[in-house]
Chains A and B, each alone.
Chain A
Amino acid sequence: MKHFAKRQRTACSPEHCLYLKKRRRETVLVQALRLGILLLLLGVWELVAQLRLVDPFIISSPSRIFATIGDLAADGSLFVHIGTTLWETLAGFAIAVALGTLVALALWWSERARRVLEPYIVVLNSLPKIALGPVIIVWFGTGSTAILFMTVLVGIIVAIMNMLGGFTATDPGKILLLRSMGASKLQILTKLVLPSSLPAFIGMLKICVGMAWIGSIMGEYISSNAGLGYLIVYGGQVFRLDLVMAATAILCVLAAGMYALVALAEKLLLKK
């Protein structure tokens, strides 16, 4: 609409310019403080280690972490470990989201199925998935399959519950409207329930990103011979805190990156 665009494009008055300037300044300040806290923490950490106030063997230090990452990268094993964990996490995430959404759809479609299965979902949701670790190892062995299964298991229940919540929260007035037009259940699903559940879907993606990391790292803790979780456990066992910290730092960066991707998807999908 021309006149909608016009309203936003009017020249700004001096007061408004000042207001905009203030807001920009505030944003810059927040970002500077964020970075400042990180640098301060790293600096203090490095200093404490360098001055031997605490034994760096126990607390490691930023410089030692960087050196460790450099060593791992030099012999190429870093990328094997990152690749392993990333694959497990992404595949588990994708399967949990897809399967969880499908199950939620089925439960939305049939109220009876929903009522029948509700207690199972509640119990599975509150069960700590790690309790199933031994069972999973016996069933799927000690390889990637077991870890993938663990990742899916951790994510799928949350995916189901969130999506079902989104589907059943569809505005009853709009359902009534479609029914009065003679819409079939399939039409109600595709024209109304799915599009109106988009925000719930995005919310579910965000939660499942975190769940997928929990699943894959937990899986690697139980049994693995590669991956960042493996590095952390191995580093702990041989008392190489540098290795533990290095793997943890990489994990932080990867998890933040994946969350940023979902946030980007949210921006693109919910533009309206």
Chain B
Amino acid sequence: MESENRRKALEFKDVRLVYHTKEGETAAAEHMSFCVYEGEFIAVIGPSGCGKTTVLSLAAGLLRPSAGEVCVHGKKGQKGIGYMLQKDELFPWRTVRQNIFLPLEIGKKDTPEHRARVLALAEKYGLSGFLRAYPAQLSGGMRQRAALIRTLAADPALLLLDEPFSALDYQTRLNVCEDVCRVIRGEQKTAILVTHDISEAISCADRVLVLSARPARVVASHTMDFSELSPLKRRESPQFSGWFEILWKELNV
């Protein structure tokens, strides 16, 4: 098998995806191949409308590739995935506690042990004071944090983050980004972050994938060489603007 001792969490093998509508067909992805290793934090950037979200839908198994293969942990059937969306999508009629238990109910894992694990997670990341509150009573940042704990509740092996910070105002966005990265690294999760924000990609990820315009394919993969892991500290580091310039140019070819 692999000579490398790192195991693959997700692999796209020459994936092609075509959308069919009444107006015609659109190729969203073509010859897309890449690998995400276990424990790695990947950011995916690309020109707007290039099909970044499509990558996540494929990885989550919500879409089937028209050609090629998508493997999660070497298998084709997807399981153990946590999807975090742009909006928190917390259910307003449930309390935060009931919201973060939702994946357990769906996965028929609603046992005291799993509940205890989720509550411990909530406690660890500062949500325990808000468990009885309804989402409408929380700030945007706190809601997104609750959404992250919900994403982690079913203990997914792979996290898919679809621009999870873009609905927040700038200051909250930096803070929540800091929090989310800390939680993901703390729990040693494999994560793929899709974003249109170059600085966000540089500050969060171990590696940044750059997609081409539609039909999307991977044109570059850059390993971020920061000694710092914290997004805010990375933003202050001297390499930051260098990376920004490189990625900016690649997006605007």
Contacts and interface: CB of A to CB of B under 8 A. Distances in A.
Main secondary structure of the interface of A (DSSP, over half): helix
Chain A, interface size: which category? 20 to 34
Contacts, number: 51
A93 to B, nearest CB: 26
A181 B89 contact: no
B150 to A, nearest CB: 9
A183 B91 contact: no
A4 B133 contact: yes
Nearest to A3: B129
A181 B62 contact: no
Contact of B132 (A1, A178, A182, A272): A1
B137 interface: yes
Contact of A272 (B79, B85, B86, B92): B92
B133 A180 contact: no
Interface in B124-176: 129-130, 132-134, 137, 154, 160
B62 A176 contact: yes
Interface string A142-181: 0000000000000000000000000000010110111111
Interface stretch (B99-107, B206-214, B215-223): B99-107
Given A177-B89, A191-B102, A182 B62 contact: no
Contacts of A171: 89
A187 interface: yes
Contacts of B106: 178, 181-183, 187, 191
Contacts of A1: 129-130, 132-133, 137
B87 interface: yes
A179 B62 contact: yes
A198 B89 contact: no
Nearest to A188: B106
Chain B, interface size: which category? 20 to 34
B93 A198 contact: yes
A91 to B, nearest CB: 31
A36 interface: no
A208 B127 CA distance: 43
A178 B81 CA distance: 11
A83 interface: no
B180 interface: no
B103 A181 contact: yes
Contacts of B103: 181
A4 to B, nearest CB: 6
B60 interface: yes
A180 B81 contact: yes
B136 to A, nearest CB: 8
B78 to A, nearest CB: 8
Interface of B: 60, 62, 79, 81-83, 85-87, 89, 91-93, 102-103, 105-107, 129-130, 132-134, 137, 154, 160
9 contacts: A1-B133, A4-B133, A173-B86, A176-B83, A176-B85, A181-B83, A187-B106, A196-B93, A272-B134
Given A177-B85, A180-B160, A196-B91, 13 more contacts: A1-B133, A1-B137, A173-B86, A176-B85, A177-B83, A179-B62, A180-B62, A180-B83, A181-B107, A191-B105, A272-B92, A272-B93, A272-B134
Interface of A: 1, 4, 171, 173-174, 176-183, 187, 191-192, 195-196, 198, 272
